[in-house]
């Protein structure tokens, strides 16, 4: 569906917001681009949408090179985090705008980019017979037909009966759903979401992201989404792409990336802080915290080693590496988990997790052992791309 070949793009001489990016998104796949602020995520979407011309490289949609193809002729939908609904139109008017974007050349867009409802699908690109919203294409639909289509889309996003409501009477989450209905209305061949849930509170995000995933699966929508929140990306994505300074640091399924971060950068981005120098010999690694088990097949030699908090077992001070508890943070969740920051007598600080009822207090003395190698990972081994 989408392919980027060596795309480099920037803002002025020598600046590279994207640096030789190769990326593919398959039909019906949801790919989430993750990365810290400034890593090039939004620029990537803008290049695909045709809103930013690459300096070199190619963007192909359904095998066709998009050089020189204007945004409204690319058939991609783009939804930004601030979703930019039209406040003067009611919910129905906003979603109907998305419907009108089909085959109009996108001229309704407030900024000429199609960013409000998505760069429009153009007619004649052959999308007949597609299951999904049930919204059919064609101009000149009568009022009743438009209303019916709008209702269908609102049902789809979980806002039945909202057609006549004023946009400013909706909650943030409801507005988000309207924006999504509007972006889905033209049946873009590729839907791109830029921090789609960025401004919503955590509880709502967690709920909506699960709904979005179910919706995209049901509609078989092809999605390229950008987020800086790895938890969100892991729920939504079939595949995640982690970016660093305009390059792809790693791509893989959420599980692959979580299990085998390709580099220290990716590991730290995922929130893992126990990363140390180590030397692997056989089934063990020499570390500043002592000898730790590693999984069978771990390549030998000097490396950076990730020790996930799950590998750290608390015990009595005399039974393991003696540490002082520096801080403890209640994380909540089903397991009532607590994150502990430990200061070992030897070696750098160490993060551990445990259940609340077992959690020691700051200042307490504990011992730690590392009984299981499954959460001890040699970095740079087994990732798709290693950024060193």
Ligand X SMILES: Nc1ncnc2c1ncn2[C@@H]1O[C@H](COP(=O)(O)OP(=O)(O)OP(=O)(O)O)[C@@H](O)[C@H]1O
Q: Which residues bind ligand X (CB under 6 A)?
A: 11, 17, 35, 37-43, 228
- Determine the Cα–Cα distance for residues 28 and 32; give it in Å rounded to an integer: 13
CB of 260 to ligand X, least distance (A): 23
CB of 51 to ligand X, least distance (A): 11
- How many Cβ atoms sit within 10 Å of the Cβ of residue 388? 8
- Determine the Cα–Cα distance for residues 129 and 167; give it in Å rounded to an integer: 32
DSSP letter at 13 equals T
- How many Cβ atoms sit within 10 Å of the Cβ of residue 26? 13
Q: What b/e sequence results for 100-125 when a residue is b if at least 16 CB atoms lie within 10 Å of its CB, and e otherwise?
A: bbbbbebebbeeebbbbbbbbbbeee
CB of 140 to ligand X, least distance (A): 39
**Which neighbouring-strand residues pair with 242?**
34, 250
- Kindly tell me which of 52 and 189 has the beta carbon lying closer to ligand X: 52
Q: How far is CA 191 from the centre of its chain?
A: 14
CB of 9 to ligand X, least distance (A): 9
- Kindly tell me which of 43 and 116 has the beta carbon lying closer to ligand X: 43
Q: For residue 209, what are its two tokens? A: 């992201």
- Kindly tell me which of 213 and 228 has the beta carbon lying closer to ligand X: 228
Q: What b/e sequence results for 199-221 when a residue is b if at least 16 CB atoms lie within 10 Å of its CB, and e otherwise?
A: ebeeebbeebbeebbebbeebeb
- Kindly tell me which of 17 and 366 has the beta carbon lying closer to ligand X: 17
Angle (CA) 17 18 24, round 5°: 150
CB of 57 to ligand X, least distance (A): 15
- Kindly tell me which of 48 and 156 has the beta carbon lying closer to ligand X: 48
CB of 37 to ligand X, least distance (A): 3
- Kindly tell me which of 35 and 54 has the beta carbon lying closer to ligand X: 35
- Annotate 269-309 with three-state secondary structure: HCCCCCEEEEEEECCEEEECCEEEECCCCCCCEEEEEEECH
Q: For residue 151, what are its two tokens? A: 């209702």
- Kindly tell me which of 42 and 122 has the beta carbon lying closer to ligand X: 42
CB of 245 to ligand X, least distance (A): 8
CB of 232 to ligand X, least distance (A): 13
- Kindly tell me which of 40 and 92 has the beta carbon lying closer to ligand X: 40
Assign 242 to helix, strand or coil. Answer: strand
Burial of 249 (0-12, 13-18, 19+ CB in 10 A): buried
């Amino acid at each position: 569906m989408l392919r980027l070949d060596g795309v480099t793009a920037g803002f002025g001489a020598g600046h590279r917001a994207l640096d030789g990016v190769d990326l593919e998104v398959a039909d019906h796949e949801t790919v989430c681009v993750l990365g810290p602020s400034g890593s090039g995520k939004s620029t990537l979407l803008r290049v695909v949408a045709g809103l930013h011309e690459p300096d070199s490289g190619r963007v192909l949609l359904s095998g066709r090179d998009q050089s020189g193809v204007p945004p409204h002729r690319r058939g991609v939908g783009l939804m930004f985090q601030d979703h930019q609904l039209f406040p003067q139109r009611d919910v129905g008017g906003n979603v109907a705008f998305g419907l009108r974007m089909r085959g109009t050349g996108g001229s309704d867009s407030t900024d000429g980019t199609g960013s409000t409802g998505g760069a429009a699908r153009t007619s004649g690109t052959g999308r007949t017979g597609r299951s999904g919203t049930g919204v059919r294409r064609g101009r000149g639909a009568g009022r009743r037909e438009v209303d019916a289509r709008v209702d269908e889309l609102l049902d789809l996003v979980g806002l039945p009966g909202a057609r006549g409501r004023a946009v400013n009477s909706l909650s943030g989450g409801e507005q988000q759903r309207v924006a999504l209905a509007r972006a889905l209305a033209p049946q873009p061949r590729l839907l791109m979401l830029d921090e789609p849930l960025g401004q919503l509170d955590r509880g709502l995000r967690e709920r909506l992201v699960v709904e979005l995933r179910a919706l995209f699966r049901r509609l078989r929508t092809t999605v390229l989404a950008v987020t800086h929140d790895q938890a969100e990306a892991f729920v939504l994505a079939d595949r995640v792409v982690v970016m660093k300074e305009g390059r792809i640091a790693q791509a893989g399924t959420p599980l692959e990336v979580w299990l085998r971060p390709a580099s220290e950068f990716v590991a730290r981005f995922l929130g893992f802080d126990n990363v140390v120098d180590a030397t692997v010999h056989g089934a063990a690694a020499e570390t500043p915290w002592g000898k730790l088990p590693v999984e069978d097949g771990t390549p030998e030699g000097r490396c950076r080693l990730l020790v996930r908090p799950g590998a750290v077992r608390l015990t009595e001070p005399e039974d393991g590496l003696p540490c002082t508890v520096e801080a403890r943070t209640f994380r909540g969740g089903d397991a009532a988990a607590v994150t502990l920051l430990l200061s070992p007598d030897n070696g750098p600080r160490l993060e551990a997790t445990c259940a609340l009822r077992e959690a020691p207090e700051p200042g307490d003395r504990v011992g730690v052992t590392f009984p299981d190698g499954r959460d001890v990972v040699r970095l740079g081994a087994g990732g798709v791309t290693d950024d060193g």
